[in-house]
Amino acid sequence: MSNFRLDPFHVALSQGASKKGTGAAFWCCEDHFDASNAESMEDGTGLAWHSQIQLVAQALKVKIAIVEADPYEQSIRAHLNLGHTLGHALEVLSNYSMRHGEAVGIGMLAASHIAVAVGLAQESLIHLITLLLERWSLPTRIPAYPTSAILSAMRHDKKRSDNQLRWILPIEPGKVVIKSDVPEDLIVQSLSLLGSI
């Protein structure tokens, strides 16, 4: 389990275009993010406690520090992959018409459903991530792709560990765990809840 003052929860959405890319970047500041922050944002263009530029700069500092500390992704750097297990698959299935930040945001939401299902997180985490993505007009539903196609795309992702899907599961802002033994039925359940067919 990881507990950061500033953590990768989640830098990934800062990698796209401004509004479509920075949506969840302020999860990196656990002291400043809670449901009241999310609900105080009207449309993602106004932040209750930071400007977008400061937000992205702070997220990038976190990412740089983590990459420098673990350049070969032997430990902590893997936490930056929150949302990527599903996100990469959605990008492939969309023929890259879905932006990276959009795909990873849905991936974060799927990971939160799995975290709740395995007893690592509270149901409120799902609400929090959903609210955050909606405030930034980011998608919260998987396009109508077959579950089997999504599973197949995930199995071909370079981030697999020993031929197993590696999930970065959020527990709360500032805490994640890595699991490579998530039962497939829980993965399927998560995908179905988010709209796969």
CB-based contact 84:74 (threshold 8 Å): no
Q: Which residues, including other chains, have CB under 8 Å from residue 98's CB and lie 6 or more apart?
A: 90, 91, 143
Identify the CA nearest to 191 among candidates 83, 82, 81, 86: 86
Task: Judge whether residue 147 has pLDDT over 60.
Answer: yes
CA distance 42 to 48: 10
Host domain of residue 185? 2-193
Neighbouring-strand partners of residue 169? 177
pTM tops 0.85: no
CATH of the domain at 134: 1.20.1090.10
The terminus-to-terminus CA distance of the chain in angstroms comes to: 33
Instruction: Tell me the pLDDT tens digit for each residue of 13-26.
Output: 433 334 344 444 44
The predicted pLDDT at position 113 comes to: 97
DSSP 6: B
| Domain total in the chain | 1
Instruction: Tell me the pLDDT tens digit for each residue of 53-112.
Output: 676 677 777 778 878 887 887 777 777 888 989 999 999 999 999 988 889 889 999 999
* Residue spans of alpha helices (H) in the chain: 18-21, 35-40, 52-69, 84-93, 100-117, 123-135, 147-155, 184-193
- 3-state DSSP call for residue 151? helix
